[in-house]
Amino acid sequence: MADIFEVPQPENDLLEKADQVRLASIKISQTQNLNRIQALNCMADYLEENTKKILEANYEDYTRAEEKGISKALLSRLKLSKEKLYSGIEGVRKVGDLADPVNQVQIKRELSNGLILERKTVPIGVLGVIFESRPDAVMQISSLAIRSGNGVMLKGGSEANLTNTAIVKALKKGLDESGHDKNAICLLTSRKDSMSMLNLEKYINLIIPRGSNELVKFIKENTKIPVLGHADGICHLFIDNEANLEMALSVALDSKIQYPAACNAIETLLVHKDIAPVFLKKAIPFFNSNDVKLIGDKRSVQLGIKYEASLEDWNTEYLDLILSIKIVDDLDEAISHIQKFSSKHTDGIITENSSNAKKFMNIVDSAGVFHNCSTRFADGFRYGFGAEVGISTQTLPPRGPVGLEGLVTYKYFLKGHGNIVDDFSSGKATYTHKDL
């Protein structure tokens, strides 16, 4: 895709829309916490008032998609049941309960007499969100954007256009009624616009992709705008020779099968050679009875794994009931394998030896390093953030599951009384650097 497709330059009508969102985002960035909570409630009210229209639009989208022969998985994500819609509306209200991420004072410091520095969190500006299917994502991401004082340009899958349009219409009405600029939320419906968005670096401050690895990879390679998200989730679990066998089995199974399509599910199990025979003897029938296909390296094939792994397996995110298994000589080999193949999402160790656990957790350079628990805990809600706007596998912050804090940045506010730097050079004034 990246090789053949040229990202188009935005046309004038898109630039105009983007400028409207930018201007609205400045207005919403100036609002108080209570105004934004009110906006969310009003948005939820209008969604409720329009549930019939939204569900009808979704029925229409669904019927058309079915006729086109779209895949079952996509159809099921497209389908907005009454329950899903109401739970989405409830979600919009709940975002109001999250702590205000804006105007948080991070630093307050007297630099010198009468010269006060403050570092406060501020909204990022305009978010660009590109997602596939899932009309419920429109409600979720719009409410998170408004909660954090940002504007948002949304581009959903074309198969959900009618539903998304009905939802956004209600959301904008809610914004408007609560006294906000309705242009803070903008839905783009053509594929061309969604691609041109990637060239809106003067208007959009952060891109949040929600979709396939391929989509995320393409976006990352084709925009100068920072991207919050990750392409691959190649997670590992290492069973140390000092592991509790029962725990190892239970955590390995949960990490694989609890939701295999999730990015925090494991793709590779690394097993210490000393524990491998007894572990695999128990694990193979256990995984088999849970329909997990096991693919192993030479040594594990000798111990009963049916399929032999190729080099590509260590690089593959199956997102399915498939697990690759490799037997390693020791902790160091496990760490080396992870350093080579991990996508730096989440990697875990099962061991009763705390110094092995410590070494593993310190050296493995992934966003999450887990000891004696399932990798499936790597998630913003489970971490207690109340929301998740994405999971980042980059080294620099924000890293790992990102909550509302990923939708704000900070700014330095310096207030003086005519203070000049020359007075400090000449010795007339001195720095006090006193935290207030």
* Nearest to a second copy of 29, 161 (CB atom): 29
DSSP string, 176-210: HHTTS-GGGEEEE-SHHHHHHGGG-TTT-SEEEEE
Binding positions for a second copy, rule: CB under 8 A:
26, 29-30, 109, 111, 115, 117, 124-125, 205-206, 226, 244, 246-247, 250-251, 253-254, 258-259, 357, 361-363, 365-374, 376-378, 382-384, 394-397, 399-401, 409-422, 424-425, 431, 433
Strand partners, 75: none
* Nearest to a second copy of 109, 273 (CB atom): 109
Long-range contacts, stretch 29-36, CB < 8 angstroms, 24+ apart: 29/102, 29/122, 29/123, 29/125, 29/149, 29/150, 31/149, 31/180, 33/100, 33/102, 33/103, 35/178, 35/179, 35/180, 36/96, 36/100, 36/146, 36/147, 36/149
* Nearest to a second copy of 1, 436 (CB atom): 436
Strand partners, 116: 110, 415
Query: Cα(246)–Cα(178) distance, rounded to whole angstroms?
Result: 56
Q: At which residue do the structure tokens 């086109």 appear? A: 68
Backbone φ and ψ for 307, nearest 5 degrees, come out as -105, 140
Q: At which residue do the structure tokens 């983007």 appear? A: 18
3-state class (DSSP) for residue 316:
coil
| Residue 310: CB minimum distance to a second copy, A | 22
- Decide: 17 and 186 in contact? Cβ < 8 Å: yes
Query: Cα(162)–Cα(143) distance, rounded to whole angstroms?
Result: 20
* Nearest to a second copy of 59, 410 (CB atom): 410
| Residue 219: CB minimum distance to a second copy, A | 14
Report the chain's C-alpha Rg in angstroms: 25
Long-range contacts, stretch 257-261, CB < 8 angstroms, 24+ apart: 257/290, 257/292, 257/321, 258/374, 258/376, 259/376, 260/318, 260/319, 260/320, 260/321, 261/319, 261/320
* Nearest to a second copy of 165, 372 (CB atom): 372
* Nearest to a second copy of 286, 377 (CB atom): 377
* Nearest to a second copy of 77, 345 (CB atom): 345
| Residue 388: CB minimum distance to a second copy, A | 13
| Residue 300: CB minimum distance to a second copy, A | 23
| Residue 372: CB minimum distance to a second copy, A | 5
| Residue 260: CB minimum distance to a second copy, A | 12
| Residue 419: CB minimum distance to a second copy, A | 4
* Nearest to a second copy of 190, 258 (CB atom): 258
293-296 and 322-328 strand pairing = parallel
| Residue 184: CB minimum distance to a second copy, A | 15
User: Residue 162 is inside which H or E element, if any?
Assistant: helix 161-177
CA angle 400, 411, 419 (to 5 degrees): 150
| Residue 263: CB minimum distance to a second copy, A | 14
* Nearest to a second copy of 59, 413 (CB atom): 413
